[in-house]
Amino acid sequence: MDELKRGLLASDAWIAPKFFYDLLGSRLFAAITALPEYYPPRVEAEILTTYRKEIAQALGTRATLIDLGAGNCEKVAGLFPILQPAQYVAVDISVDFLRDALDHLSRQYPDTDMVGVGVDFSTQLNLPADVSDKRRTFFYLGSSIGNFPAAEAVPLLERLRRNMGAEGGLLIGMDLVKPIATLEAAYDDALGVTAAFNRNVLLHINRILVSDFKLEDWRHVALFNPQASRIEMHLEALREVRVTWPGGERLFAAQERIHTENSYKYTPESARTLLQQAGFMAKQVWTDPMGYFALIYATPSRV
């Protein structure tokens, strides 16, 4: 609540992207992954399939697989037959969606030990005692690390490193710089699903803050910021809008924006540098033929 109010009252208003993911937001994200313009999940899944044997060789079998921001759990579950996890731990802030995904998955793999953890890992990562500490392999897929500037991504990755111990590893998906038209189309699809995903954050916030955002006052904006090498998503006020909640309010001028998401785009070098800064060494990097996306296996270079 405090974080939300702080963001709404800031001179350049912002909402953290984790608030996208109520139940409807998670379902809208699942729909986004089926859009022709939104290449990241498709390309990441292709890399996972193409290099599944090499990936399995790097990660080994019978590890504890910890899926950060697991969503529908599909990508990591696709590797169960080859990785044979000793335990699968799905971590996500969207708990109702996660529960449904794990119910479904445990019917498919009744012999695999599974744990669901509903936490916001952007600030801390205390895993419950039933999560095994043997050979922890973290998966951080979907280029979700790109939601954080380096000043927040590095501490987050350091928390993962401390959580995995010297024997652990990290398989991370990172989206790469590419032509601007391709990037902007991926975040502003013709069908308007990403626009709905972005605007839905206001409905989620109305429930949390008891605020009175009206969808018809806001439009979706997605643009590439080349200086910062990131896609930015915003909500732009279509007219002057006063938003109120118990004990507070904010007046937005017409065309004033609320910044809702950053999605940083890396080069293979800047991806490695980010990992190095957090005490990881990139052991293997897999990409697709177009060089759109990188999947990196990294291990701790210090404990």
By the criterion CB under 6 A, which residues form the site for ligand SAM? Answer: 18, 21, 26, 29, 41, 69-71, 75, 92-94, 120-122, 141-142, 144
Query: Please, what is the minimum distance in Å from the beta carbon of residue 76 to ligand SAM?
Result: 8
For 161, the token pair is 């490193």
Query: Please, what is the minimum distance in Å from the beta carbon of residue 111 to ligand SAM?
Result: 23
Query: Please, what is the minimum distance in Å from the beta carbon of residue 96 to ligand SAM?
Result: 11
DSSP 207-246: HHH-----GGGEEEEEEEETTTTEEEEEEEESS-EEEEET
Query: Please, what is the minimum distance in Å from the beta carbon of residue 173 to ligand SAM?
Result: 7
Tally Cβ neighbours within 10 Å of residue 204. 19
Please state the φ and ψ torsions of residue 46, each to the nearest 5 degrees: -60, -45
Position with the least CB separation from ligand SAM: 69
129 contacts 249 by C-beta, under 8 angstroms: no
DSSP-derived 3-state class of residue 268? helix
Residue 15 vs 243, nearer CB to ligand SAM: 15
Residue 29 vs 252, nearer CB to ligand SAM: 29
Residue 187 vs 252, nearer CB to ligand SAM: 187
Residue 41 vs 300, nearer CB to ligand SAM: 41
Query: Please, what is the minimum distance in Å from the beta carbon of residue 142 to ligand SAM?
Result: 3
Please state the φ and ψ torsions of residue 158, each to the nearest 5 degrees: -65, -40
DSSP-derived 3-state class of residue 188? coil
Q: How far apart are CA 100 and CA 223, in angstroms?
A: 33
Question: Starting at the edge strand that comes first in sequence, how are the strands of the sheet with 293-300 ordered?
Answer: 114-117, 87-91, 64-68, 136-140, 169-175, 293-300, 280-287
CA 138 distance to own-chain centroid: 14
Query: Please, what is the minimum distance in Å from the beta carbon of residue 190 to ligand SAM?
Result: 20
Residue 71 vs 169, nearer CB to ligand SAM: 71
Residue 67 vs 217, nearer CB to ligand SAM: 67
Q: Which residues contact 256 (CB under 8 A, 6 or more apart)?
A: 13, 236, 237
Query: Please, what is the minimum distance in Å from the beta carbon of residue 47 to ligand SAM?
Result: 12
Residue 49 vs 255, nearer CB to ligand SAM: 49
Q: How far apart are CA 44 and CA 248, in angstroms?
A: 43
260 contacts 236 by C-beta, under 8 angstroms: no
Query: Please, what is the minimum distance in Å from the beta carbon of residue 62 to ligand SAM?
Result: 22
Residue 120 vs 212, nearer CB to ligand SAM: 120
In 3D space, the residue among 204, 215, 259, 254 whose CA is nearest the CA of residue 233 turns out to be 259
